[in-house]
A = this chain, B = another copy of it.
């Protein structure tokens, strides 16, 4: 439970969109079905991403969600920041207010080391970079 459910949905949907051909729009129902996520809820999450200009959308017939080239090149961590904020990577694992590297809690170093790891991975990998991994069957977004 590192990320909120909204954030998990956001990451999966974004990676899903990254698999599409450039500018191919996908309707919310299709995304929701493919990823096994409640459509109305995912809709709400994606709206937030659209507002933050991390995902694009088009209304009307044949409309849907899609990623521009510019958006594809943004790091995945932007999605996390948009939904869960930056705090997820810094909050003390024991909930201690003044926990820091100078005054660490007993779990601080272990938790920091590996949270940093995820943070770096999400910062270095663009949204687009997940595409090749998924295409090759190396990793999966659903069964």
Interface residues of A (CB under 8 A from B): 1-3, 5, 8-9, 11-12, 15, 36, 88, 91, 93-99, 103-108, 110-111, 113-115, 117-118, 121-122, 130, 133-134, 139-143
Contact = CB atoms under 8 A, between A and B. Distances in A.
A138 B88 CA distance: 25
Contact of A1 (B9, B91, B117): B91
Contacts of A96: 12, 140-143
16 contacts: A1-B2, A2-B2, A8-B93, A12-B94, A12-B95, A96-B141, A96-B142, A97-B143, A98-B142, A98-B143, A104-B140, A106-B133, A106-B139, A107-B122, A114-B115, A114-B117
5 tightest Cβ-Cβ pairs between the two chains A and B? A114-B114, A8-B95, A98-B143, A110-B121, A106-B139
A140 B99 contact: yes
Nearest to A84: B1
A103 B142 CA distance: 9
Contacts of A142: 96-98
A105 B143 contact: no
Contact of A88 (B1, B104, B108): B1
Of A2, A15, A103, most buried by chain B (CB within 10 Å of CB) is: A2
